[in-house]
Amino acid sequence: MKKSAELITIAIVEDVRGTRENLLELLKRRPGLKCVGAFASGEEAVKALSALAPNVVLMDINLPGMNGVQCTAQLKALLPKTQMLMLTSYENSDLIFESLRSGASGYLMKNTEPDEIIQAVEQVHAGGSPMSMQIARKVVSHFQEIKKPSSEFEQLTPREKEILSLLAKGFLYKEIADQLKISLHTVRGHVHLVYEKLHVQSRSEAIIKFLGQK
């Protein structure tokens, strides 16, 4: 008997009613996705989501009162396993990096095609870090313009650098294990050491430091 696909639970934090309703309709049309809550403010989301514990949160940045970056930071403290996916109209580099530092695992523009938004939800739940093309370019361009100290990066072993490079390309842990012909447990062990050596706490932070060495 074929095992049914895992249900991905999602919450929406978006103050514009029309956008919020459009996202709800979009999620309803995709089997395997379930919206467990939609909120017009960060304050409402923080109060409700600790009990709902969704797998993924679609987060707007320009919210009334508590903004999306602040809300993301508070939710990650409450729900460290929940993946935060920013969905916004802003391409501002400072907001991008503030979002990633606050715990976001992906950053999409609101004009992203509906199918791509769905794919991004599935990717971030699977361990990926989806970004709209123009956002990814801004991240790369930012680090091409600055030179960061390489002492931390030089502490990594060749294997750790190889795994970090694959993470930056969007590979999932299982895909890395298959490509390098090592166990999933070994991949996780290497990633844990990478985090320690680079003094980071998330995939996004590790990738940002990696891109800074390019």
CATH number, domain with residue 42: 3.40.50.2300
The pLDDT of residue 56: 96
Identify whether residues 136 and 189 lie together within a single domain. Answer: no
In a domain, 3, yes or no: no
Query: Is pLDDT at 151 greater than 80 in this prediction?
Result: no
- Please state the domain count of the chain: 2
The DSSP secondary-structure symbol of 7 reads: P
User: What percent of the chain stands above pLDDT 90?
Assistant: 53
- Averaged pLDDT score across all residues of the chain: 87
Identify whether residues 103 and 129 lie together within a single domain. Answer: yes
Residue 59 token pair:
């987060």
What is the spatial order of strands in the sheet that 83-88 belongs to? 33-39, 8-13, 56-59, 83-88, 104-109
The residue segments making up the domain with residue 98 are 8-142
Identify whether residues 116 and 190 lie together within a single domain. Answer: no
- Look at 25 and 146; give whichever has higher pLDDT: 25
Identify whether residues 28 and 80 lie together within a single domain. Answer: yes
Positive or negative, the CA dihedral 34, 37, 41, 45 is negative
* pLDDT grade for 1, boundaries at 50, 70 and 90: very low
The pLDDT of residue 17: 94
Domain containing residue 196: CATH number: 1.10.10.10
Identify whether residues 114 and 169 lie together within a single domain. Answer: no
* pLDDT grade for 175, boundaries at 50, 70 and 90: very high
User: What percent of the chain stands above pLDDT 70?
Assistant: 91
